[in-house]
Amino acid sequence: MKRNLHISFFRKIMLMISRVPYISHRLILLGDVVISLLATMLSIFSTESLLRIFLPSRSILTIYLLSIVASLVGFLSFRTHKSIIRHSNLQSLWRILAACALKCLLLLPVLYWTLPDNSLRRFSLGLIPCIDLLITMFLLIVFRIGLISAYQIATRNMHNQRHKLLIFGQQDDLPHLSALLNLNFRSTYHVAGVLSFNANERSVYHMGNLPIYFAKNMNDVARLVRKEHIEGILFASQHDLLAQRDRLVAFCMKHHLRLFTVPPIDRWKYTTPQAREVSIEDLLGRDEIKINMPLIQENLKDKTVLISGAAGSIGSELCRQIATMGGIKRLVLFDFCETGMHNLRLELEERFPDLDFSPIIGDVRASRRVDFVFRKFHPDIVFHAAAYKHVPLMEANPCEAFRVNAIGTRYMADTALRYGCEKFVMISTDKAVNPTSVMGASKRLAEIYVQSLDRAIAGGHKEGKTRFITTRFGNVLGSQGSVIPRFKEQIAKGGPVTVTHPKITRFFMTIPEACRLVLEASVIGQGGDIMVFDMGDPVRIADLAQRMIKLAGFTPGQDIEIVYTGLRPGEKLYEEVLNNAEITPPSPHEKIRIATVREYPYHEVAAEFETLKQLALEVDIDGSVSLTKRLIPEYVSNNSEFEKLDK
């Protein structure tokens, strides 16, 4: 019974030690000063014993007091107490040596005036500082070794009770990263080693206390996982994760190993990185797109920027990225969604306390409200992201799609021109290419209007200086109402996961990636351009569903079924970013191309838009759709009641 009590008490002590994130710098400094004073005492005692020099008590007390002062000067000068002891390295030892040397140098004048004036003074002046230096160094190092050993014993005891992970990535930084990750004692996981693929190395060696496991192939990995009882893999970066998507990631999903990743260091919330589970967005993403940040910052510096649809997925991310850059005069948020705007406002106030921003509730369909916003703030640059985007919903409500996506864009563009904005950047979609839905057709109408308006200005037919740029890209991962959140909900409920068709594919891009390219396009666009983003390879939605089920730890077809429900109204099997007649000369950015599309005379487009506005206000559904089909000959409805209007 007593033995069990002792073990329990020991575990409590170990737990307490392991959970201490770091020892206070003041306590370390106090401990170092006490050790340094003890070293001075021992050095004087040793010198008295060797040379038979006995100092007066007052002189010894003076030396002790000045030793404390000299120690403080040395330790504070070289900041020996500032580093975390458990991560001490050779640089830390040099700091300790330098601090001790400075202390001894400062003690020399004191010793000179304190020691008795006799023939042994010169020996004492050399002997006492040397002994003091050696003892101080020895005791400080022992002190640190003791703390490190206690910490390692405590963490080893705790790690034995946690699930094991292997970390995969570039080897240079992995030991340090794994040590930092193991500080997070709220986690139930522990980094037990590093995994590396290398056919020419032996199976394992150690770097410090961290084993490095080398594998020639996936069979070696499987044996290692079984032998060491590994329960997950942690990828050190997004690049490492994507590089192993078809090998190590696929292996983990097949064998139900957990997948983790670490955000870039600039996104760490605390000094300890917060490892998180890999999401489907991570697996569908690409290496981070590089943009000309200095040029974008210069373009936005001291400007008033207006973002319509600011509470949406793209609009809110644009707000974050622009706020992060800093230097803008004012950020104007325009959206009719009260809850979304409220949440965005709270986020911006918390993350960017110095940002001057104005949240405005309003609708792009209300021309007078739009005019009020421009009249009050006089924006220099407009990012127009407000739109209705859900294909089946807009197929059932075509007049509202035309009013928001086409007529609303016209109001925004005309007002921007009237108030002398420098640039107007419109967010379009790949569904505008060879549209088969009302939603896609309404966005193509918006493209036609802003491009024809820009051409009219360039040709001298309209007065103004505003340049109009269109950006066109596909689905964004994790946007509101997109397929990925829907699949997550279905998986959480135990299935089934519903996919419309076994062969349906879509292009995907992360929201931050899309917004970076929008900002880049705003700089390199010359006006009248339709900037088409490189969307990578299309993704089969059925494959996406299977990956998400596996990521959740289930087996598709056994634990969770995939059910095919058939194409929805207006839906395509395959999306396109260009139609067959559009060619794309390159732009200054490798991920952006410029679509060469059929151009429309502005006066004809403006007249047709007036007619469309009246038809939409009167809720003349067939009339508004028929007009749109006449304006866009490539608009052919698919799986829709409006197929009758194609005949």
Residues annotated as catalytic are 431
Q: Exposed, middle or buried: residue 406 (CB in 10 Å: 0-12, 13-18, 19+)?
A: buried
Helix axes 338-351, 313-325, angle to 10 degrees: 20
Among candidate residues 374, 477, 475, the one with its CA nearest the CA of residue 421: 374
Is 486:552 a contact under the CB 8 Å cutoff?
Answer: no
Residue 279 phi, psi (nearest 5)? -110, 170
Among candidate residues 291, 379, 594, 583, the one with its CA nearest the CA of residue 471: 594
Residues 6+ apart with CB under 8 A from 407: 365, 609, 612, 613, 616
C-alpha angle with apex 592: 425 to 579, nearest 5 degrees? Answer: 90
* Residue 428: C-alpha distances to residues 74, 409, 439 (Å): 64, 11, 11
Residues 6+ apart with CB under 8 A from 156: none
CA end-to-end span of the chain: 90
Among candidate residues 81, 77, 69, 132, the one with its CA nearest the CA of residue 99: 77
Round to whole Å and give the CA distance between 360 and 340. 12
Find the radius of gyration of the CA atoms of the chain. 34
Q: Which two tokens stand for residue 99?
A: 């601090």
